[in-house]
Amino acid sequence: MKFRPKRGRIVSQNSHLIPSKVAPDAVPHRPHDIIKGSSPAWAEGAAWFYGGVGYCGKNAVRVGGHCACYNCRFSLDYFARSFAPEVRRYRVAVLDSAGNLILRIGSYGNADDGVPLIRSGGPPHPRSIGGDEVALLHGAYVAAHTDR
């Protein structure tokens, strides 16, 4: 989700999960936007949404957990493009500043597959994985450099 500074919030009827609790008579009259744990929530003031990013699917509150160690970090470049890890899909989505998908980078693989990103590393004769030749297994953290 993209929020403009100080113009958005996430609300829910379950205050221990979501920062802003909403009274029952003030619940938005539309389907919920997100679910955290088993509690529905609504995003107010979001400029855009893009689903499928990251992975946060364990330790539900109903079974006593609050930790979600599987997470991700997206990155922005100098053109305001978002590089968003789609961890469970083994790729990175590249979005323009309006949240539109430009392209996806990567496919399932590991260091022995595909063309290495850094010329000094990787095997001498990698197997081709096809597509863009970027092999990913758990690409949860990305960084962007506009000139590279």
Give residue limits of the domains in the chain: 2-49, 50-148
What does the pLDDT average to over 10-18?
70
What pLDDT score does 114 carry? 52
What pLDDT score does 102 carry? 95
Contact at 8 Å (CB) between 41 and 31? Answer: no
Q: What is the pLDDT of residues 32-76, one digit of tens each?
A: 888 766 677 888 888 998 887 866 555 555 555 555 556 788 899
Sign (positive/negative) of CA torsion 123, 126, 132, 137? negative
Question: Which residues, other chains included, contact 119 with Cβ-Cβ below 8 Å and sequence gap of 6+?
Answer: none
Q: What is the pLDDT of residues 75-104, one digit of tens each?
A: 999 888 999 999 888 889 999 999 999 999
